[in-house]
Amino acid sequence: MEKRGQKPDATAYGALCRSYANAGNVKGTIECFQRMEAKRLSPGLEGCNNVLRACDTAGDVAVAEEWFEKMKGSGIKPDAMSWSSVVGSFAVAGDAAGVIKWLEAMEAEPGVQPTVAVHNNVLRGFVSKGDVKSAASWIGRMKTFGVSPNIHSYDAVIRGYADARDPTTAVSWFDSLSEAELTPSETSHAEVVRAFTRAGDTQGGTEWFNRMHATGVPVTSSTYAAAIQSSAKAGDAVGAAMWIERMLSAEFKPDVRCFTSVIGAWARKGDTKRAVEWFERMVASGVVSDIVAINEVLRAFNYRRDPKGLRDWFGYMIADGISPDEDSYALAIRTAAEDGDAATAAAWAERMAYQGRDTTALPYDKVVQSLVKAQNPDGAIQWVDRASEAGRLLTLPTYNAVIKALLEGKKAKRARGWLKRMVSAGVPPERTTYNMFIRNSVRNGSPDAAALWHERMTEAGVEASKETYGMVLNAFAREGDKKNVLSWLEKMTDNGSKPDKQLYTSIINAFAQKGEQEGAQEWLEKMVAARIRPDVATVRTVMKGCLKKGDVASAKRWLEWMPVEGLTPEEGAYNMLLAGYGRQGDVKAAEALVAKMSAARVAPGREAYASMLDCCATAGNTKAAEKWLQAMTSAGFQADGAASAALVRSNAVAGNVGATDELLDRMFGQALPKDRRVLKQTMKMAMDCFKKAGEEAALVHWSERMDDLNVTWSAEDKRPPQRKRAGGRRRADSRRKTSKTELAKVKRDLQPPALDDLNTLSKYLEHCGETGDSEGAMKGLDRMKAQGQEPSVNDYNTVLAAFAASAAGKPNSAVAWLDNMRAQGVEPNSYSYRMIMACFERDGDAEGTVEWFERMVEAGVDAKEIHFDLAVSAVLTAAATGQLDSAELFSRIVATASTPQQKSQRYDFVIRKCAQAGELELAEEWFRRAVAPGVGVFPSKSTCELAAEVAMERGDDVKTLWWFQNSFGHRFNARNKERLASFTKGMMFRSTGSVNMRLLDNIAAWLTKLSISSQSRRELPNDQMVIAYSRAGRLEEAAAWVEKMAGFGQSPSKEAYTELILASAQAKDLPSAHRWFERMTLSGIPPDVDTYNAVLRSYAVSADTKGAEEWLKTMKAAGIDLDRTSRYMMLMAHISAADMEGANVWLETMEKNGEWLDPKALAEVVNAFVETGELREAFRTAKVMSTGPSRRGGYTVWTMLLRAIASSPRPDAILAEDVLREMHLRGFVPGRRPLLDLQNALGQERCEELCLELGIQVERVDADA
């Protein structure tokens, strides 16, 4: 009013004060009051009451009392409203004593008495702050003041229980109305309905709603609105939708708040489809959408993490004339951040600032934490800087998130810097912060650093906890440092923290893993002395360590100790000690232990019997071995290869040459041990037996048998004299294998590398792995250990990778290295097994490849596609050369499946690989096995289509048709037309929508043959052939298929016509584009905006701006609204015509509509500005219209700009700096060529300074390079 020259009067100011009061804005109400006084407009009693009402709403008792006294001091007598507001402010503040005090004062004041309305205001005050218990008790107190509660009093209490989501108590208060002789109102019923819906009980709410309707209580739109909104708040989107449907059925028109509640409920489930549907339904019903409703749709895309959908809805918002607010931009920024896209989040923020929105209100904490969660710490740091620039103080969890990300990324120095920055920002670190640094030190194997961080924490006044002490204790325990473990335990006790079971257990495990068995036993004894009972697993850990050291007596003592302390040893504990006796060959002790197992009602399993057989073998006790083999089979366990091997070893140790030879024959004829280590050990002992007996013929025979299996038996890998035994056959060209002993020998002969930097050392290891330098990789590991760095499993894997990369594959060396890894306490991972399999596959050993695939699955490591690929490829290669029958090995691969899903996956992969290798007969055989009764697995549609593709390329129409028919085996009801359409579409079009040119003509020829044969011509996917040839740019073939369709009595679809027009446009054939457009309209298909845009593209490609403008008029005359593509086509028409002035007009139009350019389009536009020398305009366009970082397009745009600046006669240094800063902001690191351009524009010194400032680590660029 003032801006228009109008003078506000007392009525206008009064309205403004009332609005502030209703909102509970005490400060705003007082300022409005004071402005009235300054304008000499007397606020009077109404003005004072407005201030008191604001205090009532806000619960501000201090200001309420102050202004009440001011009123009386200024001669204004408080009325009932004044007193009621002060009383209400105490109720909202939850101060029951204050309420009573002011009610008593009101009673003593002549002329005003606390009526039921005043008491109801008290009830509403309690309820508004969630204090429903005080509200309920106040009903009883009302009578002490001589006031009887009315229906509104009870309704207030019922509302409180509805807010608290307590329908049971709400119903109880509703029922109490009859005792109070009050008739329930529409509000009473509605609040009970709301109580059920807020609790998520839609059925209960519906029953009460029906009860309300049945009793004749009139239902209003407010009742429905309350049910809708409460269901939505409870997260019950289905319930909210049901209530709005009932509202519409009752012919009540929902307002924008009702629709917004339903949209919001679906949004919080991330269901963008339903959120959009309800928004469109709202608009269709004539309800005008507002910013809140559109923000709820944006929220749906945020919950779904769909940045593209959110961007599209921004465009809708702007096109609808609604300006995005701070919440809109906050949702866009959070969506980009949760996607890990810091640059796009920054672009949204810049756009927000450009629109004049307040960026200080952005959710900086959530953005930073989202970027950290998305593993983009650098982007998170940029947003911390933004928060600082905006004057926002970030919270402790946000700083902790950044520090955690840096520590996990092995950037401890930067993490320490952020700790300092956190303190300087006034955010004191807490225990969680220091815990991260302590944990990082423990993870890096640095107990001293962990202890130092613990001391820093206590020096900073942060109290240590049992967890922090536990981490430091574990760190020292892992190093076997008993002295420091005891020292820190004393510190922990002095601090008042007692070690618990978990801490003792972790210390024991740490000592055991380090191989410090004495320390593990000592701490187990301390644990028992502290009257803390260990579990069986902890005792087993100590036993395992004892046995590893060969201390069987201590392991036996701990096993016997368990029952005494009330612990029940399980089978694993007994088996562990049995294995120890087995290594010693103590048959008597082992048999006594088995007797104890049986007495303790622990039935010996296969492992126990195997240990007994190993014990007999070590002792050379053949009779006992045979006895226990018989016991094993009697117990229901089948004698496998390992059992047979144990019999061989027992006879070999006993020197029974004949029996050893005979048992070896039986073992090779029946079943070999699955574990090749057992086989090698058995053969070594057998060979030693033959050697001692001078059985040269047996030595030669069994050496040749082992060569046939590619297994080395001797630790030194030396063969006996090559003499031919009668009936034997010596294998020619037997490969020499590297043994485990040789691996150790190689390592001793090497000199440690001169590599001191761990980063350089890691790169060196990777290089060795890639180049097949196993010796260099071992040398690097030795150097790493010498520097005190514990190599990870990935570091050990570089040696395996080197073996795999070598020409021979070296499988035996790889297996020995894997054993070495386990001996070092490093558990092989998926990549380790992959390299082992690759070694066997490279060596042509298909059986070995499959065996290690089986071992991997048995070890609990998930098989990935690359493992299947190696196993199946090895089998196919061996089968192709006639070395073996593939059926057995494929069966073993399939047999590793433990679930129906895995079985289906394995069959499918075998069939797919066979088809890819061109082995269609084999693929068909395994297809029939898969679908056979008892298996019931149907290969995937894509696998069958792949096999059909191979058959089609061979020209085998029968097989193509057979695989095509089987590709729909899971859809028996599909019509042939649908099958053909889906099949050809899947083969012709890639996932990107482009055409598979290699198959296009093959499919066309196959379909032509089908049309000549029995296949109905109308069932052929003719329309798809038109689309495919159009996309391929082959207009003549596309037109030929259109004519075929006409001969069959068919007409192309709208999509096909659109593709024909686009193909004509791409060929710059404007007349053909118009001709296809006219033919489509004549066929009765109404053109839409996409069809018009296709014609518009032909004008853009032809640089015909006038024709494009005329076509726009045609579109508008037909009632077609322009969309983003239309405007982009106009932009490109002007750019093609080198009309930059016209291009700028359309760029501004797109910018106003919130439309961005994709990387490819942006590069074209920026290049046009560059060619005309308008570099600053090019930079502005790239900055504003870019969709975010993309190596394919975005990076090219910025390097193009740098090249243009550097190539100009007078390079613009400031612009070059701006370009580099923008690149850095978007996460791009300039390469060698862009840096050289930057150096040419800025000079070498300034270029280096700028890179240092931005933290860009680059090598020095030589301008002459």
| Lowest mean pLDDT across 453-462, 842-851, 1179-1188, 1234-1243 | 1179-1188
For the segment 9-26, the average pLDDT, to the nearest whole number, is 85
* Contact by Cβ (8 Å): 1020, 1011: yes
Query: Residue 888: enclosing H or E segment and its boundaries?
Result: helix 886-895
* Contact by Cβ (8 Å): 289, 283: yes
pLDDT in tens, 1099-1147: 888 888 888 899 988 888 888 888 888 888 888 888 888 788 888 888 8
- The answer, yes or no, to whether residue 1045 has pLDDT greater than 90, is no
Question: Rounded distance, CA 873 to CA 917, Å?
Answer: 9
Helical ranges in 758-845 per DSSP H: 758-771, 774-786, 793-805, 811-823, 830-842
Question: Rounded distance, CA 812 to CA 1161, Å?
Answer: 56
Question: Rounded distance, CA 192 to CA 204, Å?
Answer: 9
Q: From start to end of 976-1105, where are the E strands? A: none
| Lowest mean pLDDT across 112-121, 951-960, 1034-1043, 1164-1173 | 951-960
Task: Output the pLDDT for position 577.
Answer: 87
For the segment 944-948, the average pLDDT, to the nearest whole number, is 81
What are the φ and ψ backbone dihedral angles of 372, each rounded to 5 degrees? -65, -45
- Tokens 């679809």 sit on residue: 1053
* Contact by Cβ (8 Å): 725, 697: yes
Task: Output the pLDDT for position 263.
Answer: 93
Question: Rounded distance, CA 602 to CA 600, Å?
Answer: 6
749 — pLDDT class (breaks 50, 70, 90): very low
What are the φ and ψ backbone dihedral angles of 436, each rounded to 5 degrees? -65, -40
- The answer, yes or no, to whether residue 681 has pLDDT greater than 60, is yes
The pTM (predicted TM-score) of the whole model is 0.40
Task: Output the pLDDT for position 709.
Answer: 64
What six digits make up the tokens of 221?
A: 């739109």
Q: What percent of the chain has pLDDT over 70?
A: 89
Question: Rounded distance, CA 433 to CA 884, Å?
Answer: 61
Task: Output the pLDDT for position 707.
Answer: 66
Question: Rounded distance, CA 770 to CA 1065, Å?
Answer: 49
For the segment 722-744, the average pLDDT, to the nearest whole number, is 36
For the segment 744-755, the average pLDDT, to the nearest whole number, is 42
**Residue 227 Cα distances to 262, 325, 622, angstroms:** 11, 28, 84
When comparing pLDDT for 657 and 355, which is higher?
657
232 — pLDDT class (breaks 50, 70, 90): confident
CB-count burial class (<10 Å; 0-12, 13-18, 19+) for 330: buried
724 — pLDDT class (breaks 50, 70, 90): very low
For the segment 668-684, the average pLDDT, to the nearest whole number, is 84
For the segment 673-680, the average pLDDT, to the nearest whole number, is 84
Residue 995's DSSP bridge partners are 989
For the segment 381-393, the average pLDDT, to the nearest whole number, is 78
| Lowest mean pLDDT across 2-11, 474-483, 1068-1077 | 2-11
Question: Rounded distance, CA 718 to CA 724, Å?
Answer: 17
Task: Output the pLDDT for position 728.
Answer: 36
Q: Say how many C-beta atoms besides its own lie within 10 A of residue 285's C-beta.
A: 11
- The answer, yes or no, to whether residue 959 has pLDDT greater than 80, is no
* Contact by Cβ (8 Å): 650, 620: yes
When comparing pLDDT for 662 and 121, which is higher?
662
- Burial call 167-198: b when 16+ CB within 10 Å, e when fewer: bebbbebbeebeeeebebbebbbbbbbbbbbb
Torsion over CA of 1045, 1051, 1053 and 1054, rounded to 10 degrees? 130
Name the nearest CA neighbour of 469 among 457, 447, 454.
Answer: 454
- The answer, yes or no, to whether residue 722 has pLDDT greater than 50, is no
| Lowest mean pLDDT across 139-148, 269-278, 643-652 | 139-148
What six digits make up the tokens of 737?
A: 């294998």
Q: From start to end of 3-79, where are the E strands? A: none
Chain-centroid distance, C-alpha 1193: 26
For the segment 75-92, the average pLDDT, to the nearest whole number, is 85
Task: Output the pLDDT for position 606.
Answer: 86
Task: Output the pLDDT for position 970.
Answer: 44
* Contact by Cβ (8 Å): 1194, 341: no
Q: What percent of the chain has pLDDT over 90?
A: 4
Ramachandran quadrant class, 1154 (left: phi over 0; alpha: psi -120 to 50; beta: rest):
left
813 Cβ contact partners less than 8 Å away, ≥ 6 residues apart: 737, 738, 739, 742, 743, 774, 803, 839
633 — pLDDT class (breaks 50, 70, 90): confident
Name the nearest CA neighbour of 11 among 47, 56, 51.
Answer: 47
Query: Helix, strand, coil proportions of the chain in percent (round to 5)?
Result: 70, 0, 30
Task: Output the pLDDT for position 973.
Answer: 36
* Contact by Cβ (8 Å): 488, 525: no
Task: Output the pLDDT for position 630.
Answer: 87
Query: Please, how many CA atoms are within 13 Å of residue 1177, restricted to the half-sphere of its CB?
Result: 16
In the chain, count H helices and then E strands.
69, 0
672 Cβ contact partners less than 8 Å away, ≥ 6 residues apart: 641, 679, 709
pLDDT in tens, 255-294: 999 999 999 999 998 899 999 999 988 988 888 888 888 8
For the segment 202-214, the average pLDDT, to the nearest whole number, is 77
pLDDT in tens, 835-847: 999 988 888 888 8
* Contact by Cβ (8 Å): 466, 432: no
Mean pLDDT, the chain, whole residue set: 80
Q: Say how many C-beta atoms besides its own lie within 10 A of residue 203's C-beta.
A: 9
For the segment 867-874, the average pLDDT, to the nearest whole number, is 88
- The answer, yes or no, to whether residue 876 has pLDDT greater than 90, is no
What are the φ and ψ backbone dihedral angles of 1186, each rounded to 5 degrees? -75, 140
- The answer, yes or no, to whether residue 925 has pLDDT greater than 80, is yes
> How long, in residues, is the chain?
1265
- Tokens 């590709």 sit on residue: 967
Question: Rounded distance, CA 272 to CA 306, Å?
Answer: 9
* Contact by Cβ (8 Å): 575, 542: no
Name the nearest CA neighbour of 21 among 106, 94, 88, 98.
Answer: 88
pLDDT in tens, 306-341: 888 888 888 877 777 788 888 888 898 888 888 878
Task: Output the pLDDT for position 715.
Answer: 39
Radius of gyration of the chain (CA): 41
- Burial call 910-932: b when 16+ CB within 10 Å, e when fewer: bbbbbbbbebbebbbbbbebbee
Question: Rounded distance, CA 101 to CA 84, Å?
Answer: 13
pLDDT in tens, 653-664: 999 988 888 888
For the segment 418-434, the average pLDDT, to the nearest whole number, is 88
Task: Output the pLDDT for position 262.
Answer: 92
